[in-house]
Amino acid sequence: MNRTVYSRDGKELRTVELDDAVFGLPVNEDLIWYAINNELANKRLGTASTRDRGEVHGSNAKPYKQKGTGRARRGDKKSPLMVGGGVVFGPKPRDFSYSMPKKAKRQALKTILSLKAQSDTLTVVEDFSVESGKTGELANILKNFGESQRTVIILNNDDAMIRRAGANIPWLSFLSYSRLRAHDIFYGRRVIILEGATKKLSEFYGEGEAAEEAVE
């Protein structure tokens, strides 16, 4: 698959061949759903907690006698049927995270990249950096590739200055080629991949020896 490489000014420079093993796969919707839900589940804090009748503070005495009042039978004020009483089957702190097979997650990431490539929401841009680290400079570069919308930039290295420049742009996120997130890429309206990252993606997620490495 051949894609046009653009300069930071939005001008066409050349074409680059994308690895079909990474960008030319059929879309597997079930696998994408599985990968995204796995990431969301692993992010959950699981700190929600309610008190049952044994944890609610209050007296154990009956509010009134059992018989003779004509009213319903009551236990104590901590009963779930009473206002301020315990909660029945309420949430308790728990761990929602679970492991996803590495090969399945790798395949999901590749099929999402393929989906973006097939829908023309993927743009390859020459390697660039923001030496000043200023948000305005990066914002001017992004204007050359369309209006402000949810955008993901896949880097070929951990460039601290470009990350610093984009920290104040709420709709922009950065990903390293070796630490992709299915949720961010799938829901990104626009995916920008630096030219150097396309080669590293092919090496890291391709069919060679690097494809057996673990992905967190």
In a domain, 24, yes or no: yes
pLDDT for the residue 126 = 92
Domain with 158 in it: what CATH number?
Answer: 3.40.1370.10
pLDDT for the residue 210 = 44
- Is the pLDDT assigned to residue 216 strictly greater than 80? no
In a domain, 85, yes or no: no
How many domains is the chain built from? 1
- Is the pLDDT assigned to residue 61 strictly greater than 50? yes
Confidence of residue 215 (pLDDT cuts 50, 70, 90): very low
* Residue 96 contacts residue 47 (beta carbons within 8 Å): no
In the numeric block, which tokens belong to residue 177?
Answer: 């080629």
Q: Which residues are registered as beta bridge partners of 173?
A: 152
pLDDT tens digit sequence for 145-191 = 888 889 999 998 888 899 999 999 999 999 999 899 999 999 999 99
In a domain, 44, yes or no: no
pLDDT for the residue 110 = 94
Confidence of residue 212 (pLDDT cuts 50, 70, 90): very low
* Integer Cα distance of 133 and 50 in angstroms: 46
CA distances from 159 to 86, 139, 141 (A): 52, 16, 16
- Exposure string of 28-40, with b = 16+ CB inside 10 Å and e = fewer, is beebbebbbebbe
In a domain, 51, yes or no: no
* Residue 102 contacts residue 215 (beta carbons within 8 Å): yes
- Is the pLDDT assigned to residue 39 strictly greater than 50? yes
In a domain, 9, yes or no: yes
pLDDT for the residue 207 = 62
Q: Give, rounded to a whole angstrom, the gap between the first and last alpha carbons of the chain.
A: 28
CA distances from 94 to 9, 49, 98 (A): 49, 9, 12
In a domain, 116, yes or no: yes
Q: Domain residues for 173?
A: 2-30+100-212
Query: What angle separates helix 195-205 from helix 102-118, to the nearest 10 degrees?
Result: 140
- Is the pLDDT assigned to residue 34 strictly greater than 50? yes
User: Residue 51 phi/psi, 5° resolution?
Assistant: -100, 130
pLDDT (average), residues 28-33: 94
Confidence of residue 120 (pLDDT cuts 50, 70, 90): confident
In a domain, 136, yes or no: yes
pLDDT (average), residues 188-195: 93
